[in-house]
Amino acid sequence: MPLKLRRLSHALGAEVCEVDVSRPMSETRFGEIYQAFLAHGILLFRNQDITREQHVEFSRRFGELDRHEALPRDRHPKYPEILLVTNEPNPDGTPSDSRYTGRQWHSDMSFTTSPSLGSLLRCFTIPEVGGDTLFASMYLAYETLSDGMKKLIADLHGIHLSGTRKIANATTGIARAEEQRRINPPVAQPVVRVHPETGRKALYVGEKVKRFDGMTEEESRPLIDYLNGHATRPEFVYRHQWRANDILVWDNRCTMHQALGDFDESQRRHMERTTVLGTPSGYVVADA
């Protein structure tokens, strides 16, 4: 039976219908899923009541998994392949280190020299309303630029920084920022990336970009702001309203995303993510 898909938006995304990722899956069936992943940029699997082991096992079908050494505070204590995205307090009662994860437009692990191929985020608990996630097609963002702008940015490299998220409080935020600077020095990535599997060009920017290599922040800011604003125009964006036991898989090489804080933070929002390693990209910038 052919894979059944339902498109999520005009710009990107498709729901994979009638597939239980916890059950044995043939290479042929997974090949169909992977081709849909390349074609649509985002895949949604609803009603996946699975264990953490099954989450990790399914994720490995997409490639080698990151053990999140670049984000040690956010790892699951028993499963290093799983990154926690939660507002549940820490065991000692302090605010969660990952409560504000993803509140900026970004592509996962862009601040490393092995940025992510893809991410698989599973929803456990959501607030009564809100807590959605936005996704933008970076293919469309690039393809709709003028020829002059494409020429201008063709050889630019944006410097991506870790530790730029909103902080839970001053003490933990300062400690985390210092730790992130030590673990993850600034990395320059090409502003235009060629997808290694589809061959299509995509913008590679986001709110983690501080400046362009070889330019000052003041010189860089207007163009960074323009590119981010252009990439996140409504016609390029899909807004996902989460349900418990959703799994959303996205291609970090041609999308970027942002978690919204439009919910009552006294209500629980708990997600768990696996991260598929991508091909090497970029270089460390010592003087950023």
Which residues participate in catalysis according to the annotation? 106, 108, 257, 273
Backbone angles phi, psi at 7, to 5 degrees: -65, 145
Spatial distance between the Cα atoms of 151 and 205, rounded to a whole number of angstroms: 16
Q: Which residues contact 3 (CB under 8 A, 6 or more apart)?
A: 16, 19, 29, 32, 33, 36
Strand 133-137 vs strand 255-259: parallel, antiparallel, or unpaired?
Answer: antiparallel
Backbone angles phi, psi at 284, to 5 degrees: -75, 140
Under DSSP, is residue 240 helix (H, G, I), strand (E, B) or coil? strand
154 φψ region: left (φ > 0), alpha (ψ -120 to 50), beta (else): alpha
Using CB atoms within 10 Å of the CB of residue 157, give its burial: 0 to 12 exposed, 13 to 18 middle, 19+ buried.
Answer: buried
Let me know: does 117 contact 274? Beta carbons within 8 Å. no
The beta strand positions in the chain, using DSSP E, are 4-7, 14-17, 42-45, 83-86, 116-125, 133-137, 157-160, 187-190, 192-194, 201-203, 209-212, 237-240, 247-251, 255-259, 270-277, 283-284
Integer angstrom CA distances of residue 184 from 87, 103, 127, 189: 24, 19, 32, 14
